[in-house]
Structure 1
């Protein structure tokens, strides 16, 4: 990858750190992956919490716990541990979430002041190292290449993106004062297929109505059983954490796996909420799922309404019609290519080859040719939309408002079901407190039984 004459070297230690970061970057995932941090944990968000907890935060805490219990001094130094953590989650992102994420009050004094300086210096000189595991610059990284291939294979979905080709053509090229992983312009369509694959997976699998219904049911079961799930199981009650608290204690969090679902099923307790959680899980196994009964495409008119405000506002409007919140749930689903409503490749880095004749030490040309890789300014590609093709999309994001019905649609619930369908069909616009406004276009509206 590194072919420039003044290229920065990659050391064996850096390669080791990259390998460790690649293997460990998803250690912090809770039960059922993103369901835990995106659906379950937000239901226990405290008023003072400014930033949402993410699974990367648990990964960093887990790494701290691991390195406290193993011998690593023969291979790594303190700054290498910080580098591994920075590869997983950039320092600025860590500070935004929690400035003292990896430090206890009594440890701040002991921490070497040179560590951050060394990692900052590395980031300035070798920015490209931070574009391999979790690429915050343009989202082109091996994490996506890994789960794209795995999920498409397991789901039986075909995809055109070839990561081996991108790896073969990638070069580290200097752009201004920074070195970035770059690709030839001919690789544009292959990389665009990568982001199209992401969109396809979200549309056909991750945000499929049945998948989201099951996720909502598992989340509801977790919430109702939360206080009955205690970790670690072999500790005294005073040292145990509930499911929602486990993320703050790595000794407890190590016990929190997908098996939590089975633990709920077989717990013996007279707790009414636990029994409700068990009923929800039994419904999943009996295929008696929550049902998508209404969907609207969202069109922004003035400004942008946040998904949270939209969900809260629509639920409030429906509840005002005497419809109980336990019977339905509103969900805002976003489909895009990974960069909001912008071209996902707008921040990608490009290069072109330049052939030149080598010169000897005396300044004479020896006839042998060498290849240099020079950057292509992104503005050259994107200021003229037709530079690549006239057939690329102009819109890269679409949002939908979904209505799920959680209970039976017969007997005494039929009247409420008919009422919520009628009220949902009447909703044509929404305006938040900042006067941002959206309109809706019905795409699904269930027929009455």
Structure 2
């Protein structure tokens, strides 16, 4: 198969490697065409119909672009092999294989409702789906023909997931005709392949990093010897320490600045009709690999600190304006309710002819391949009477008869709630209903509570805590911004939280009663009163421009003590009122 060229609406013409095209043409990857990137956001933003398919292709291409820049660095052009480049591109292509219907709605909401104690994530499913894709489509020989080995497969999985637990390691080999590998064998082979090879010194600026993961040297002028950096890639099997910067290209666990963000920020804003506020091309142009406390890492030019800030600002803005839009959220909530109603009554074809529930498909990649956004179509047109409630919920969404937004509040700074507190909050609001107001009896299940937390960054610690820079004056030394420089960039508050109240009933009286109860609950729980509401829940009317002018004239007249105020002539507005 030859190289292909895609005309992407965001990046322009994208060249796709032949092995990547073989992956793209599998049913497991084509499944991504039926998974919307932004879940149910297109019900509010009609243009947001792009899918995980084009996003994944875009990430793969951007990863290749970044590698092209790194290979221009003198000490990296011979270090980065053709297999390294191919593995990183494949990791970018396959990093989202494990997403379920409506993307984060499935693993972040539906699965937690089905199994509250579940720790399953879509990254785990991406690992399982990638392994299933190789075996189901016999891709092993094509990969081996390009020089890839079992260790490279582990590297791809680590680039997608991070440090692999033993239960996610492959149990097959692409270099031995697909023969099963004994449990743990790959782990031993991979470790020995690293430790049996004599350490090779690679210079990253003033520092020297070796392939021996048991020891590192940091002779430069970094920030000192911090065990955290030495331990960052402990247990990784796919690549030696000298190449661990490759793990930061697709999914950067250090500071979340990676090709995944570059693509979905630009693509989402393009499809949402919002303005792109950062230039990823310029950022990629000025990236270097520098030793940071014995660990080579991606570092950015010091003059690009504003671009780095723009990345975090863009993420925050997208969450506020689109991802956590109050109407998008309640539509997703109603879809989750429909999926919960249908979970026991929809069966997907799985391995060996088994029929699998929606929530159980995560354990059977054959069934999971059939689980896409199209699940709503199966529910909508099913003739099973058990799906009647789920169908009614979907019809309410399509006809725009949504659960009604009542209001929202914010807790005091530092006094944040958890999503697990939603039921307790609902009970508290129902308890605040004035018995003299309620003409109908309301229960916690009649309302919906959302706890929405908006953080400026998803990285642990400070936003710029793990971002390193370089200067043209000292291009081989990692630099960190000083506190005054950080303070100029960051917002006053790094995290906000909103408590949102929705009513399942459209009754006008019920909405008034809930609004009053919500205001009382806010008072007794140390939260801000909803904007514009008084303590009894009613709105404070805003003064009209005409009443403002009258009040100002009255105050001016009362302030004159020596001159008798003359009678004001009727204004044009007053004459208009008379005619009306």
TM-score by length of structure 1 reads 0.82
Q: Does 1:71 align with 2:173?
A: no
Contact in 1 for aligned 2:291/2:478 (Cα 8 Å)? no
- CA deviation vs aligned residue, 1:307-333 (integer Å, no higher than 9, x gap): 234323212324557632332111111
Q: Does 1:308 align with 2:419?
A: yes
Q: Does 1:229 align with 2:346?
A: yes
Q: Does 1:373 align with 2:475?
A: yes
TM-score by length of structure 2 reads 0.64
CA RMSD of aligned residues (A): 2.8
Question: Given the superposition, is the C-alpha separation of residues 319 and 42 from structure 1 closer, same or farther in structure 2, using an over 3 Å criterion?
Answer: farther
Using the TM superposition, give the Cα deviation of residue 68 of structure 1 relative to its aligned residue in structure 2, in angstroms: 1.8
Contact in 2 for aligned 1:64/1:102 (Cα 8 Å)? no
1 or 2, which has the higher strand percentage?
A: 1
Contact in 1 for aligned 2:131/2:170 (Cα 8 Å)? no
- CA deviation vs aligned residue, 1:340-370 (integer Å, no higher than 9, x gap): 796422211111124xxxxxxxxxxxxxxxx
What does residue 281 of structure 1 align with? 394
Question: Given the superposition, is the C-alpha separation of residues 351 and 80 from structure 1 closer, same or farther in structure 2, using an over 3 Å criterion?
Answer: same
* Cα distance in 1, alignment partners of residues 111 and 82 from structure 2: 39
What does residue 188 of structure 2 align with? 113
* Cα distance in 1, alignment partners of residues 411 and 431 from structure 2: 22
Contact in 1 for aligned 2:286/2:300 (Cα 8 Å)? yes
Q: 2:522 aligns with which of 404, 410, 428?
A: 428
Gaps of 5+ in 2: 1-69, 172-179, 195-235, 433-440, 540-580
Q: 1:185 aligns with which of 295, 302, 314?
A: 302
1:39-438 aligned within 5 A: 39-45=109-115, 47=117, 49=118, 52-69=119-136, 70-72=138-140, 73-75=144-146, 76-91=148-163, 94-95=164-165, 100-102=167-169, 107-108=182-183, 110-115=185-190, 118=194, 119-120=236-237, 122=239, 124-232=241-349, 239-271=354-386, 274-301=387-414, 305-318=416-429, 323-339=442-458, 343-354=462-473, 373-378=475-480, 381-382=481-482, 385-387=483-485, 390=488, 392-410=490-508, 414-415=509-510, 417-428=511-522
Contact in 2 for aligned 1:328/1:403 (Cα 8 Å)? yes
Q: 2:530 aligns with which of 429, 442, 445?
A: 442
Work out which of the two has the higher radius of gyration on C-alpha atoms and give 1 or 2.
2
Indicate the SS of the match to 1:211.
helix
* Cα distance in 2, alignment partners of residues 388 and 251 from structure 1: 49
- CA deviation vs aligned residue, 1:361-394 (integer Å, no higher than 9, x gap): xxxxxxxxxxx7222432xx23xx3236646423
Contact in 1 for aligned 2:464/2:486 (Cα 8 Å)? no
Using the TM superposition, give the Cα deviation of residue 337 of structure 1 relative to its aligned residue in structure 2, in angstroms: 2.0
Aligned residues: 403
Decide which moves more: 308-317 or 224-233.
Answer: 308-317
* Cα distance in 2, alignment partners of residues 111 and 290 from structure 1: 52
